[in-house]
Amino acid sequence: MPALTLDRLLASIGFGSRKEARALVRMGLVELDGNVLDDPFMELKERPENITVNGEEVPTVEKLYVMLHKPVDFECSHHPRDHRSVYELLPDRFSAMGIQSAGRLDADSSGIILFSNQGDFIHKVESPKKGCLKRYRVTLAREFTEAQEKELLAGVMLKDERRPVLAREIVREEGSVVITIGEGLYHQVRRMFAAVGNHVETLERISIGPVVLDESLGEGGWRFLTEAEIASLM
Ligand code: URA
């Protein structure tokens, strides 16, 4: 393995190419433990936990596992059409590191989205076969009847789908309903309620598998997943 030089470290955590990373060092913008580093080829014996670039202390992890509290009116795309991109809510360097969302939320929906630059993790979260259940809290335009609840639990046929999809669990709350599903089909929850004659007004995803939306984040906030959260999904 090549020695871990400062320019390599910076490039590996999204600060551009090695050439661009060297320019940052030469401009005096890189600090370690309070000391400005001036040699871009400096060899690091081990990866430091954090490094300061342009006044901001950043962790040096290469594998990204991130939770975002998505607000409405953001699209889960690098090339949004009608709204801003969720990627604007994350540091730019994450895009340079290849971060992708594991599943999507539509622009009208809010709640938890996970991101990673590790394909196996994204696959585990997205694949219905891996059994990663997702929970959504919805408010509805009309009364939610017993008959609608039974139909959703038994399974409904959605247009252009080959098999019925069913709610794994439904919990009634004061003024809202929490529904658990196993797949991630296009607009699935909205289409399921429409199929039984109701209409979703607001939709918030509150958990993905065992990982629950961290309410302390506030809309638009993000944080790294903990080791325990990553392990629980893998
Ligand atoms: N179901 C929907 O209808 N929309 C989402 O964003 C997610 C699930």
* C-alpha dist (Å) from residue 70 to 74, 112, 191: 7, 6, 21
pLDDT, mean of residues 149-157: 97
What residues does each domain of the chain span? 6-59, 65-127+214-233, 133-208
10 Å CB burial of residue 157 (0-12, 13-18, 19+) is: exposed
Q: What is the assigned CATH class of domain 65-127+214-233?
A: alpha beta
CATH topology agreement for domains 6-59 and 133-208: no
Residue 106 annotated among the catalytic residues of the structure: yes
Give the pLDDT confidence of 12-70 residue by residue, as tens digits: 999 999 999 999 999 999 999 999 999 999 999 999 999 999 999 999 999 999 999 99
- Whether ligand 1 lies within 6 angstroms of the CB of 101 is answered as no
Spacing, Cα 55 to ligand 1 middle (Å): 39
For residue 139, give the H/E element and its range: strand 134-140
- Pairing status of strand 134-140 against strand 176-181: antiparallel
Question: Does residue 129 register a pLDDT over 90?
Answer: no
| Banded pLDDT at 197 (limits 50, 70, 90) | very high
CATH superfamily of 6-59: RNA-binding S4 domain (3.10.290.10)
Ligand 1 closest atom vs CA 184:
8
User: Domain 133-208 maps to which CATH number in 3.30.70.1560, 2.40.440.10, 3.40.47.10, 3.60.15.10?
Assistant: 3.30.70.1560
Residue 113 forms beta bridges with which residues? 68
Of the candidates 7, 33, 39, 106, the residue annotated as catalytic is 106
The predicted structure's pLDDT at residue 74: 97
Of 125, 96, 127, residue with least CA distance to 113: 125
